[in-house]
């Protein structure tokens, strides 16, 4: 599903002394199949943006009159389409949309609630199901088994356990399975590796790669870890102060070290190494991944 | 950042904002007494006048003040209707079974509405002009004589203070968990009552677990900062009673005396 | 050099589960900055809670500046050993910055004027003077954590323990905390025990200790520890990214050292490429 957003603006606590403009005329397209990275500081608007994508935050035009916010004057009407869903239209079936666009929030293990891992993972499946035709037990088991398998957990080992007895990294994977269980086409993850130890971080990175290959067509990660973006993403967008500053593939984006540093963002380690080498007269052409860098250096050495 | 406004406090500077919280609390109590002592049109008019003056002085916009009334409007109308129907008055306009509408009933209801509205405006003016922290300090200070009878005044104040600190944290957390479950298809808007209550379990369980975890960590953090109960403690903030507070006290006293005198010498309509 | 903190044969268990700490021995010298590394559940946070007796050891002795920690000098010990915890939202008792910073100082019964001046000192040391009257809930994660540090500093401790104090922060917040801690250590000569996941932070320490299953398994200068790559992996820890790049280059036949410094590595690569041509 292709995601097209035009002129999105969102203001929290509008009209109060605590008014805060989180999104300011944001226009951004995310093509199907990307591993898309959204980066920026806390408060740059990136989380607000992704919450629009599955209708957790609605456009004014899609709200019932009672809750309607005033549309901004002087700006063209906001547009937001995810695949065939028109999110500006109040007739859109937002539950059907949420089934297709899964969001894994920060610290997702904090949303676990059921008595067993199986019940927790099955929650999404049951709640999205047609009320008149609830899924059968066998169907649920298969789906849960597949979702747990996708995050690298064995159904036999964990399904009947309490989710609260698992380790931190396992809890997080169960929570991700709980979103995967409905087979979303777009998977959005907000800081998927936050708070994990280095090993847990590596596991999550591997997991996301597997998911992008054979589970979800489009993966979007929200992150402020530049290395995470450089290593994983095919495309990236930089948010700052509610606006989109850059939309570039990471290998292009991280050439703009000065501009990024002006908005307080860092560059990945490999980009720093390349700059340090460039200052010594050695130009390494690489995509800013660790593997790419090592290959490029070894190739240069081979040529020399 | 998120859609959470902190308490009701309206952050501007005004003579009312600067008053000692204890004075404001006492004023509220005196004011409530006054509106219930007042039994005549003039008495309530005096009460309303004093409140209008306070609102103007506080520079809190009228819209904000009226919004507080909006919250209780149904309660007000409901009570008024019940009162009109059940009040056994003399001048009866209409009656059916145990219900009747009388002149006295209508006057009584009108007074009741006015009292509730004044009460709500006055108490919301207190929360609009006083930060939760100084409100807590005010309560602690006013209750401190109770320490003599071993009432845990300090603990109560600390609990209030921590609760106030945690309200924005937990409401943000509730919003986050609610969003996460919504994203997993949770539906909080349809179905019958039992279904809707059931729909809150996926929010309540994580929220309670998180609150317990937070309480645990906060306990450690407090102990690490040498918290050992209220015994040896000193207090950094001292409340000070100023000229404005004296004026406020006089105003409150004058109002209460006024309505008492009115009641005794003029007599009321109810 | 005097020992600020000593653990001698300390053992501890939570009573349930199979986690326990056995015969833990280590010392931290006055003015040192020591990093404690270990995966989740390795026992490093238990260590922080033992050091100022939020948890009581089952056996062994813990000394703070030579004084054995016991039930009778609890108050004293906690004044000397401040702890900053992981979650920036779970450490404040008051809604306004200065009220929260005052909490510890109020607890030990200081006079009003002294509390006021300590709030000033603590906020200055953390670069938060401008936020004295701000609402804690409206601060960023890094700022909240700096307030937590200020709240500990108001007790004028001699040892500061940071229990994964940066784990929940964004890079900007992490840098704020690291800057404050380094300044306290270098300028105020504060003894610091920094429990962390981040290899980059451990590299700033004078010494590092690695924990695994309630035991100390490695000790030494941070750079030495990270040079023992295979051993680290067995304790579920990882190299900093730059260390991995060095290893990969070595595996490809280049003679670069196990450096963890960007400039040094760049020098070595440049030299090698120049030699080859």
Count of structural domains, chain A: 2
Structural domain containing residue A287: 268-304
Interval A10-31: pLDDT, tens:
988 777 667 788 899 999 999 9
Token code pair at residue C148: 């937590």
Cβ neighbours of residue C96 closer than 8 Å, sequence gap 6 or more: B131, B133, C133, C134, C135, C136
Asked if residue C262 is part of any domain, the answer here is: no
Which chain C residue shows the shortest CA-CA distance from B6?
Answer: C137
Q: Tell me the pLDDT of chain B averaged across its residues.
A: 85
Say whether pLDDT at C114 is over 90: yes
Give the model confidence (pLDDT) of B126-136 as tens digits: 988 988 778 88
Q: Is the pLDDT of residue B151 over 90?
A: no
CB pairs A-B closer than 8 Å: 75
Model confidence at C6, pLDDT cuts 50, 70, 90, reads very high
The tokens describing A299, both together, are: 């190739």
pLDDT at residue C11, rounded to an integer:
92
Chain A residues 164-223 with CB within 8 Å of chain C: 167-169, 194-200, 202
Token reading at A184? 């979303």
Edge-to-edge strand list for the sheet holding A186-190: A101-104, A186-190, A218-223, A35-39, A235-240, A243-248
Name the more confident of B66 and C151: C151
CA A260, A264, A270, A275 torsion-angle sign: positive
Please name which of C26, C21, C23, C27 lies closest in space to residue C9, comparing C-alpha atoms. Answer: C23
- Integer Cα distance of A201 and A207 in angstroms: 10
**Structure tokens belonging to residue A226:** 């530049």
Q: Which of C170, C244, C262 sits opposite A272 (nearest CB)?
A: C262
pLDDT above 90 coverage of chain A, percent: 58
Looking at the 3D structure of chain C, how many domains does it have?
1
Averaged pLDDT of chain C: 91
**In angstroms, rounded to a whole number, what is the distance separating the alpha carbons of residues C263 and C268?**
9
Residue A61 is predicted with a pLDDT of 81
How many whole angstroms from its chain centre is CA C220? Answer: 16
Residue A159 has pLDDT above 70, yes or no: yes
Answer for the pair C174, C194: CB distance below 8 angstroms, yes or no. Answer: no
Give ∠ CA C18-C19-C23 in degrees, rounded to 5.
Answer: 120
Pick from B107, B58, B109: nearest CA to B50: B58
Q: How confident is the model at residue B108 (pLDDT cuts 50, 70, 90)?
A: confident
Q: Where are the alpha helices (DSSP H) in chain B?
A: 15-18, 21-37, 41-58, 62-86, 103-129, 132-143, 153-183, 193-199, 201-224, 243-261
Residue C262: which of A194, A227, A273 has the nearest Cβ? A273
Asked whether the beta carbons of residue C155 and residue B165 sit closer than 8 angstroms, the reply is no
Residue C67 maps to a domain: yes
Rounded Cα gap, residues A149 and A173, in angstroms: 10
Lowest mean pLDDT among A79-93, A208-222, B98-112, C243-257: B98-112
pLDDT given for residue C210 in this prediction: 94
Reduced DSSP (H G I as helix, E B as strand, rest coil) percent helix, strand, coil of chain A, to 5: 45, 20, 40
pLDDT at C62: 94
- Identify all chain A residues contacting C277, using CB atoms and an 8 Å cutoff: 304
Query: Which chain A residues are closer than 8 Å to C249 by Cβ?
Result: 294, 297-298
Q: Rounded to an integer, what distance in angstroms lies between the CA atom of residue C258 and that of residue C241?
A: 12
CA gap A163, A115 in Å, rounded: 7
Give the residue from chain B lying closest to A20, CA to CA: B1
pLDDT at C197 over 60: yes
> C48: nearest CA in chain B?
B224
In this predicted model, what pLDDT tens digit does every residue of C76-105 receive, in sequence order? 899 999 999 999 999 998 888 999 999 999
pLDDT at residue A70 greater than cutoff 70: no
C-alpha to C-alpha distance for C210 and C218, rounded to whole angstroms: 5
CA B228 vs. chain centroid, Å, equals 32
Is the predicted pLDDT of residue A148 greater than 90, yes or no? yes
Residue B21 has pLDDT above 60, yes or no: yes
| Mean per-residue pLDDT, A259-272 | 89
* Residue among A116, A86, A121 nearest A102 (CA): A121
CATH number at residue A57: 3.40.50.300
* Interface residues from chain B to C (CB-CB < 8 Å): 6, 131-133, 158, 161-162, 164-165, 168-169, 213-214, 217-218, 220-228, 232-238
Q: Are C181 and C194 in contact (CB under 8 A)?
A: yes
The answer to whether residue A66 scores a pLDDT higher than 60 is no
Mean per-residue pLDDT for C245-251?
Answer: 91
Residue in B206, B204, B182 with CA at minimum distance from that of residue A103: B182
Give the span between the Cα atoms of B97 and B90, in whole angstroms: 16
Report how far residue A47's alpha carbon sits from residue A45's, in angstroms, rounded to the nearest whole number. Answer: 6
Question: Is C83 a domain residue?
Answer: yes
pLDDT of residue A37: 96
CB-side neighbour CA atoms (13 Å) of A286: 28
Residue pLDDT, tens place only, B187-208: 877 777 777 777 888 999 999 9
Note whether A175 and A28 are same-domain residues. yes
State the pTM of this model. Answer: 0.85
Q: Is A44 on the interface with B (CB under 8 A)?
A: no
What is the β-pairing status of strands C207-212 and C215-220?
A: antiparallel
Contact B182, A98 (CB under 8 A): yes
Q: Looking at the domain assignment, is residue C87 inside a domain? A: yes
Closest partner CB to C54 (pick from B164, B165, B223): B223
Average pLDDT over residues A162-175: 92
CB contact under 8 Å between A225 and C236, yes or no, is no
Which CATH number is C202's domain given?
A: 3.40.50.300
Comparing alpha-carbon positions, the chain B residue that sits nearest to A18 is B5
Which residue from C162, C137, C138 is spatially nearest to C152, judged by alpha carbons? C162
Buried (b) or exposed (e) across A163-192, using 16+ Cβ within 10 A?
Answer: beebebbbbbbbbbbbbbbbbbbbbbbbbb
Amino acid B1: pLDDT: 35
The answer, for A18 touching chain B at a CB cutoff of 8 Å, is yes
Residue C248 falls within a domain, yes or no? no
Q: What is the pLDDT of residue B3?
A: 34
Q: Does C117 touch chain B (CB under 8 A)?
A: no
Inter-residue contact A237 to A244 (CB < 8 Å) = yes
Neighbours of C57 (CB within 10 A): 19
Q: Are the Cβ atoms of A277 and C270 closer than 8 angstroms?
A: yes
Examine the domain organization and report whether A253 and A276 are in the same domain.
Answer: no
What lies within 8 Å, CB to CB, of C26 at 6+ separation is C6, C7, C209, C216, C219
Q: What is the DSSP annotation of C11-47?
A: EEE-SSSS-EEEEEEEEEETT-EEEEE--TTSSHHHH
Is B101 in a helix, a strand, or coil? strand
Q: Is A56 on the interface with C (CB under 8 A)?
A: no
% of chain C at pLDDT higher than 90: 62
Burial grade of B31 (CB within 10 A; 0-12, 13-18, 19 or more) = buried
Give A51→chain B minimum CA distance, Å: 9
Closest CA to C39 of C269, C229, C271, C237: C237
Residue A108's pLDDT is 93
Shared-domain flag, residues A185 and A230? yes
Q: What b/e string do you get for C195-229 counting C-beta neighbours within 10 Å, with b at 16 or more? A: bbbbbebbbbbebbbbbbbbbbbbeeebeebbbeb
Same structural domain, A207 and A301: no
Q: Report, in this order, helix, strand and coil percent for chain C, each rounded to 5.
A: 45, 20, 35
* Angstrom distance (rounded) from CA B141 to CA B147: 10
pLDDT of residue B6: 43
Report the gap between the CA of B136 and the closest CA in chain C (Å).
10
* Segment A264-292 mean pLDDT: 90
Element spanning C160, H or E: strand C159-163
For position A11, what pLDDT does the model report?
87
- Whether complex ipTM tops 0.90: no
Do A32 and A160 have their domain in common? yes
Is the pLDDT reported for residue C174 higher than 60? yes
Asked whether residue A222 carries a pLDDT value surpassing 50, the answer given is yes
Does residue C66 form part of some domain?
A: yes
Average pLDDT over residues A102-121: 93
Specify if C267 maps to a domain: no
Angle between the N-to-C axes of helices C241-251 and A269-279, in degrees from 0 to 180, rounded to the nearest 10: 60
- Mean pLDDT, residues A150-160 taken together: 94
For residues B4-16, average pLDDT: 71
Q: Fill in the DSSP letter of residue A265.
A: -
- Residue A206, φ and ψ in degrees, nearest 5: -60, -45
Mean per-residue pLDDT, B10-15: 85
Cβ separation of A127 and B185 shorter than 8 Å?
A: yes
Helix (H, G, I), strand (E, B) or coil at B269: coil
Q: Do A297 and C249 touch (CB under 8 A)?
A: yes
Highest averaged pLDDT of the listed ranges A109-113, A284-288, B264-268: A109-113
* Per-residue three-class SS string for B108-147: HHHHHHHHHHHHHHHHHHHHHHCCHHHHHHHHHHHHHHHH
Does a structural domain hold residue C245? no
- Domain coordinates in residue numbering, chain B: 15-130+240-266, 143-224
Counting residues of chain C whose pLDDT is more than 70, the rounded percentage is 99
Pairwise CA distance, residues B33 & C6, whole Å = 63
**The two three-digit tokens of residue A59, written as one number:** 């456009």
Asked whether the CA dihedral B51, B57, B58, B60 is positive or negative, the reply is: positive
Mean residue pLDDT of chain A comes to 89
Q: What Å distances lie between residue A127 and A85, A151, C204, CA to CA?
A: 20, 21, 49
CA–CA distance from B165 to each of A52, B158, C154 (Å)? Answer: 29, 11, 20
Ordered alpha helix ranges (H), A215-268: 226-232, 250-253, 257-262
């Amino acid at each position: 599903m292709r995601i097209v957003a035009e002129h999105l603006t969102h203001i929290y606590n509008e009209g109060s002394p605590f008014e805060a403009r989180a999104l300011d005329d944001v226009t951004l397209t995310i093509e199907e199949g990307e591993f898309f990275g959204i980066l920026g500081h806390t408060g740059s608007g990136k989380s607000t943006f992704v919450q629009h994508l599955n209708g957790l935050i609605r456009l004014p035009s899609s709200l019932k009159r009672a809750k309607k916010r005033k549309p901004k004057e002087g700006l063209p009407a906001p547009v937001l389409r995810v695949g065939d869903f028109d999110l500006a239209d109040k007739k859109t079936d937002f539950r059907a949309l949420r089934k297709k666009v899964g969001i894994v929030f920060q610290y997702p293990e904090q949303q676990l609630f059921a008595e067993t891992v199986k019940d927790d993972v099955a929650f999404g499946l049951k709640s999205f199901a047609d009320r008149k035709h609830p899924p059968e037990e066998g169907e649920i088991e298969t789906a849960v088994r597949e979702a747990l398998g996708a995050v690298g957990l064995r159904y036999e080992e964990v399904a009947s356990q309490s989710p609260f007895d698992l380790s931190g990294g396992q809890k997080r994977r169960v929570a991700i399975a709980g979103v995967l269980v409905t087979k979303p086409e777009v998977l959005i993850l907000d800081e998927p590796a936050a708070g994990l130890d280095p090993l847990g971080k590596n596991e999550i990175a591997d997991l996301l790669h597997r998911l992008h290959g054979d589970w979800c067509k489009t993966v979007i990660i929200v992150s402020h870890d530049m290395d995470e973006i450089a290593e994983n993403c095919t495309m990236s967008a930089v948010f700052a102060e509610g606006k989109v500053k850059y939309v570039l593939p990471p290998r292009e984006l991280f050439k703009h070290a000065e501009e990024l540093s002006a908005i307080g963002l860092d560059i990945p380690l490999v980009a720093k190494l390349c700059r340090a080498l460039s200052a010594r007269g050695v130009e390494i052409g690489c995509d800013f991944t660790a593997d790419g860098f090592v290959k490029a250096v070894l190739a240069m050495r081979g040529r020399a | 950042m998120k859609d959470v406004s902190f308490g009701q406090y309206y952050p501007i500077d005004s003579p009312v904002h600067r008053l000692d919280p204890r004075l404001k609390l006492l004023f509220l109590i005196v004011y409530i007494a006054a509106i219930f002592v007042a039994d005549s049109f003039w008495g309530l008019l005096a009460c309303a006048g004093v409140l209008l003056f306070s609102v103007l002085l506080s520079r809190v916009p009228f819209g904000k003040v009226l919004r507080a009334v909006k919250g209780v409007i149904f309660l007000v109308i409901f009570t008024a209707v019940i009162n009109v129907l059940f009040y056994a008055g003399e001048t009866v306009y209409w009656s059916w079974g145990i219900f009747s509408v009388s002149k006295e009933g209508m006057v009584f209801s009108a007074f009741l509405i006015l009292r509730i509205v004044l009460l709500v405006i006055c108490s919301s003016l207190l929360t609009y002009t006083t930060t939760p922290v100084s409100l807590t300090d005010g309560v602690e200070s006013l209750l401190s004589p109770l320490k003599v009878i071993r009432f845990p005044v300090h603990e109560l104040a600390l609990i209030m203070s921590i609760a106030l600190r945690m309200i924005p944290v937990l409401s943000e957390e509730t919003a986050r968990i609610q969003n996460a479950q919504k994203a997993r298809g949770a539906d909080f808007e349809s179905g019958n009552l039992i279904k809707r209550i059931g729909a809150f379990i996926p929010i309540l369980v994580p929220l309670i677990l998180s609150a317990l975890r937070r309480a645990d960590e906060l306990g450690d953090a407090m102990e690490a900062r040498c918290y050992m109960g209220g015994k040896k403690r000193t207090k950094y903030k001292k409340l000070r009673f100023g000229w404005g507070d004296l004026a406020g006290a006089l105003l409150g006293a004058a109002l209460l005396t006024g309505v008492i005198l009115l009641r005794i010498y003029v007599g009321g309509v109810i | 050099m005097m020992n600020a903190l000593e653990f001698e044969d300390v053992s501890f268990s939570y009573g349930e589960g199979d986690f326990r700490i056995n015969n833990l021995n280590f010392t931290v010298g006055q003015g040192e900055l020591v990093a404690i590394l270990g995966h989740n559940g390795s026992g490093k946070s238990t260590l922080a809670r033992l050091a100022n007796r939020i948890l009581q050891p089952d056996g062994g002795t813990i000394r703070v500046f030579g004084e054995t920690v016991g039930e009778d000098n609890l108050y004293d010990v906690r004044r000397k050993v401040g702890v900053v915890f992981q979650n920036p939202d779970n450490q404040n008792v008051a809604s306004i910055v200065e009220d929260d910073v005052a909490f510890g100082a109020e607890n030990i019964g200081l006079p009003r004027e002294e509390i006021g001046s300590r709030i000033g000192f603590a906020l200055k040391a953390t670069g938060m003077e401008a936020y004295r009257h701000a609402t804690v809930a409206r601060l960023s994660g890094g700022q909240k954590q700096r307030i937590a540090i200020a709240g500990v500093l108001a007790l004028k401790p001699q040892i500061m323990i940071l229990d994964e104090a940066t784990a929940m922060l964004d890079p900007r917040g992490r840098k704020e905390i690291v800057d404050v801690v380094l300044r306290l250590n270098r300028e105020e000569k504060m003894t610091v025990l920094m429990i962390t996941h981040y290899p980059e932070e451990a590299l700033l320490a004078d010494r590092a200790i690695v924990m695994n299953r309630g035991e100390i398994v490695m000790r030494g200068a941070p750079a030495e520890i990270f040079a023992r790559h295979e051993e680290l992996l067995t304790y579920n820890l990882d190299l900093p990214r730059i260390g991995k790049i060095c290893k990969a280059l070595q595996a490809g036949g280049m003679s670069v050292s196990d450096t963890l410094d960007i400039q040094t590595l760049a020098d070595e690569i440049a030299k090698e490429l120049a030699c080859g041509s």
